[in-house]
Amino acid sequence: MLVHLVARRTEVVGQLIFYPLIVWTILFFARHKYFDNWNTTLGLAIVMTIGVLITWTCALMLRFAAEKLRKTSILRLRDQQVLVIADNKSDDLKKLIEYAIDDIKSIQTGAFAPFSQHPVFHSILVAISSIGGTYLIDFISIFNF
């Protein structure tokens, strides 16, 4: 039950990853030559990027902690399974433990999502595409479209 709780709560947290990215993208576009004639200094770029990097780091740390919880839960269930087999208890209890292990392994939501479906991966793709979009605006402005 703990693993399911973590999966549900981290699914909500995963949606929050996009908020700093939205602010970062707006700041990045606001400082662009096309919208304003200010230059972005290296120090300002570093300060603007630190928040997003901290968010991505925390989300990845959350994922690693969740995977550690999954591994620990499976190891505990395996220990229980060995005790059940050693005590020659009912087959129903063995099947129940095996079902619980399979259920824990199959969770793919929240922090347990594969990296291709993880919010950090999606937010990195959005960030890369927004940076590419600003260069596209520069390219279009060169040809006066």
pLDDT digits (tens, 9 = 90+) for 74-105: 999 899 888 888 887 777 888 888 888 888 88
Sequence-distant (6+) residues with CB within 8 A of 109 are: 7, 8, 11
pLDDT digits (tens, 9 = 90+) for 109-139: 877 877 667 777 777 666 666 656 555 555 5
Residue with tokens 């606001």: 30
pLDDT at 52 over 70: yes
pLDDT at 73 over 80: yes
**What pLDDT shows up at residue 145?**
43
| Helical segments of 87-118, H only | 91-105
pTM attached to this predicted model: 0.69
